[in-house]
Amino acid sequence: MLTIIARIVFWVCLGVFLYILFGHGLLLVLLKAFFSRPVKRKPITPDVCFIIPAYNEERNIGAKLENTLALDYPKDKLKIVVVSDESTDQTDEIVKQASKKEGRIILLRQRSRQGRTIAINTAAERYKAKVYAISDANVMLDKHALRELAANFADPQVGAVTARFIALQSKGNPTEKGIGGYWNYEQWLRYLESQIGSVSFISGSFNAVAGNLLTPVPADITHDHYVPADLTEKGFRSVYEPRAVVYEYPADTPLEETKIRARNFLMGMNFLRELPRILNIWRHPWFFLNLLFRKILRWFCPLFLIISLIAAVFLIPEPAPLTLLGLTGIGATMTALMLVFKSPPGWLSTAGFFGLAQIGLFWGIIQFVFGKRITHWEPPR
């Protein structure tokens, strides 16, 4: 009896785990072949309010402003608003000095720490625009990135656009190769989602939202999660634009990567709490199912893996459980190498980074179970 139960648990959990990682992507490929909905892009340049939320970004904000000013976009249609979340370093002073040289740069300072979401809400409420572009202070954009995003708003069904992420390499960080492979796969899935209808979430690094559709977001939820669901409920699409490129360095250390995943999980639980209020899942079943497998269940992947591994122990020496245990051992070894600042070779680096992500998500689950909650997003340091 124990063997039968273990076999059922093993195959169910492993099946869900593999479907989340690979099977859903194959379904998206199939759906794209029959239900493709290309975006009707045209070269347009609407008025843009470019919002940069910033908390203690003195090492990045100067370069970020230079990068934004260098974008290939009409000067009279681009306003740059830096929202300082009560920064305690030289962030505000750097922005003030830049605004003296360039009048398009505006500094807003929040009088108390309220987080990234409220920073974006504040800027959008204060300055009206046809399009709000939102970008983190620690990322750099390709010269044509804003134009490429804006072109999608020529399609009246498009309410938001998210950019393509490219990981930069810096000395000594063993996660660089792994995160590159991981994000290439993620963005391929995002491309497929977009071709069918709408992406399930947008990238916080760089995205744009139609001005008449951006509504205030609760402080403990990120725009990344909220906007696509909100726009779907309103009848609009959120799409992926691979020609709009954003460059970003990975976190400084492998441990910081795990902390980011844990924070992502905790913020994701806030979104999940509000999802029934944001989206009528019965009116939008495909968006919900896609969100379920692309995001929600992925947050719980560590649990499916752990349960299947426990069940596998009771099924030794059957081939499938032994294979899973062996592959997990390889992945754990690659992750351990990353944690001691060694970069695994080739594709194994992606396996190592995946392991880091699972550790981070599992830590987030543990924190959530023991009552930890995040009221606003803290930028990685």
Q: Token match 């992406």: residue?
A: 199
Q: Token match 């992925």: residue?
A: 298
Residue 187, both tokens: 């963005």
What angle in degrees, to the nearest 10, is found between the helix axes of 319-339 and 254-278?
120
Would you call 267 exposed, middle or buried from its count of C-beta atoms within 10 A (0-12, 13-18, 19+)?
Answer: buried
User: What pLDDT, on the 0 to 100 scale, is given for residue 327?
Assistant: 85
pLDDT at 134 over 60: yes
pLDDT digits (tens, 9 = 90+) for 256-267: 888 889 999 999
Give the pLDDT mean for 352-363.
88
> For the whole model, what pTM was predicted?
0.91
Q: Are 182 and 335 in contact, with CB atoms under 8 Å apart? A: no
Q: What's the rounded Cα separation, in Å, for the pair 247 and 250?
A: 10
User: What pLDDT, on the 0 to 100 scale, is given for residue 352?
Assistant: 77
Q: Where are the chain's structural domains?
A: 9-43+129-381
User: What pLDDT, on the 0 to 100 scale, is given for residue 2?
Assistant: 81
What pLDDT band is residue 1 in, cutting at 50, 70 and 90? confident
pLDDT digits (tens, 9 = 90+) for 176-204: 666 777 888 999 999 999 999 999 999 98
pLDDT at 380 over 60: no
Would you call 296 exposed, middle or buried from its count of C-beta atoms within 10 A (0-12, 13-18, 19+)?
Answer: middle
pLDDT at 241 over 90: yes
